[in-house]
A and B are shown apart, each in its own frame.
Chain A
Amino acid sequence: DTGVSQDPRHKITKRGQNVTFRCDPISEHNRLYWYRQTLGQGPEFLTYFQNEAQLEKSRLLSDRFSAERPKGSFSTLEIQRTEQGDSAMYLCASSVLRGVPDTQYFGPGTRLTVL
């Protein structure tokens, strides 16, 4: 059973650059979530998809952030014009909707450092 995978695992970039992260959910999982975790804190919700539809976005997700899930499989999270405050671990999770909220399974995360 292949779990949730994320790429890259680490990204170092300079302020002002654009970055893109990828998440591959567990196959047959129709829900995909993005969270952000800063050091010493719990993850905070950013956005989620059901199949290819983006159903909810947090106010944490500024205009510089965009997420897609074009074919209802993998997802990408892009951050434009990165700022030092964007430095964090970006976590992806997936679940399968069976009429009731199901358990979310997390990937290893992408650690972003903005210099």
Chain B
Amino acid sequence: AQTVTQSQPEMSVQEAETVTLSCTYDTSENNYYLFWYKQPPSRQMILVIRQEAYKQQNATENRFSVNFQKAAKSFSLKISDSQLGDTAMYFCACLTGANSKLTFGKGITLSVRP
């Protein structure tokens, strides 16, 4: 079984600045995938970025990038040039090849201040 830990319940950032959201995970599988999902207030969850554990290169998606430290089992999300629309709850999640269920962290509420 895998576990995902997001220890920061909330963060705040000024518009246009950079923020990093932390996540650690634990799994006994060698083949797994890590995700960050965004859930805006009263709106549906959408995928932000995905990382395959076998890839050493950190994934990037426009203003979003990850810092994947496999040995430390750490998977943080960096948001550059924060925008008001980035205000949301962010969930880190792990999916293994052995089963197909996503295991989520508790999430972090990010507020972007104008």
Contact = CB atoms under 8 A, between A and B. Distances in A.
A33 B100 contact: yes
A75 B47 CA distance: 22
A101 B97 contact: yes
Contacts of A72: none
A43 B44 contact: no
A101 B95 contact: yes
Interface in A77-110: 91, 93, 95, 100-101, 103-109
B75 interface: no
Interface residues of B, number: 24
Nearest to B104: A42
B101 interface: yes
B33 A106 contact: no
Interface of B: 4, 33, 35, 37, 43-47, 50, 91, 93, 95-97, 99-107
15 contacts: A33-B100, A33-B101, A33-B102, A40-B106, A42-B104, A43-B102, A43-B104, A45-B101, A56-B100, A95-B100, A101-B100, A104-B102, A105-B47, A106-B45, A107-B44
Given A42-B105, A105-B47, 15 more contacts: A35-B102, A42-B104, A42-B106, A43-B104, A45-B101, A45-B103, A48-B101, A56-B100, A93-B102, A95-B100, A100-B97, A101-B96, A103-B35, A104-B102, A109-B44
Interface of A: 31, 33, 35, 40-45, 48, 55-56, 58, 91, 93, 95, 100-101, 103-109
